[in-house]
């Protein structure tokens, strides 16, 4: 599954990468391996226990932050980072209230650089129902059937300003 996330994230030119909900850091490690040497990875989790686990990964490009994905813009500023080139999310949009999920996605859109990418991997398609009105239709989507349970991955490109 990490290979598919890396493929959809298109990290070759990314200098600022954000991971929402890094959990125990499996995807975080894969992202770091695929990222440029001069890129930064901001991993944001609500649970301080997960932030502590991720912070133990020995890579100077990594910033582990305890906080809410809803505050993405402020968190980027707090760490002196510009707009994100890609935001990757495994947070479960299907379990949160509509307003919170939509608010997070609007914050992601507003925190992306021009042509920035939002990549979500989920068990349910709720993220697409929430993200399509914010970003427009996804540019790519694919099942990850070998994952147990099966997942789906989506990619959206930031719409042009005024678009």
Characterise 114 by phi-psi region: left (phi > 0), alpha (psi -120 to 50), beta (else).
Answer: beta
What's the CATH fold of domain 2-157? Rossmann fold (3.40.50)
Tens of each residue's pLDDT in the chain, 163 residues: 789 999 999 999 999 999 999 999 999 999 999 999 999 999 999 999 999 999 999 999 999 999 999 999 999 999 999 999 999 999 999 899 999 999 999 999 999 999 999 999 988 888 999 999 999 988 889 888 777 788 899 999 998 876 5
pTM higher than 0.85: yes
């Amino acid at each position: 599954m990490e290979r598919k996330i890396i493929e959809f994230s298109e990290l070759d030119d990314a200098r600022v990468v954000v991971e929402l909900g890094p959990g125990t850091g499996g995807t975080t490690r894969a992202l770091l391996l695929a990222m440029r040497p001069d890129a930064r990875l901001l991993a944001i989790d609500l649970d301080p226990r997960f932030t502590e686990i991720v912070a133990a990964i020995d890579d100077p490009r990594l910033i582990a932050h305890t906080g809410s994905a809803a505050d993405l813009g402020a968190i980027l500023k707090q760490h002196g980072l510009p707009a994100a080139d890609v935001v990757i999310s495994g947070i479960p949009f299907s379990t949160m209230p509509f307003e919170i999920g939509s608010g997070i996605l609007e914050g992601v859109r507003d925190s992306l650089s021009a042509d920035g990418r939002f990549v979500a991997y989920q068990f349910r398609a709720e993220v697409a129902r929430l993200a399509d009105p914010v970003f427009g239709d996804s540019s790519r989507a694919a099942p990850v059937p070998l994952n147990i349970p099966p997942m789906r991955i989506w990619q959206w490109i930031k719409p042009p300003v005024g678009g």
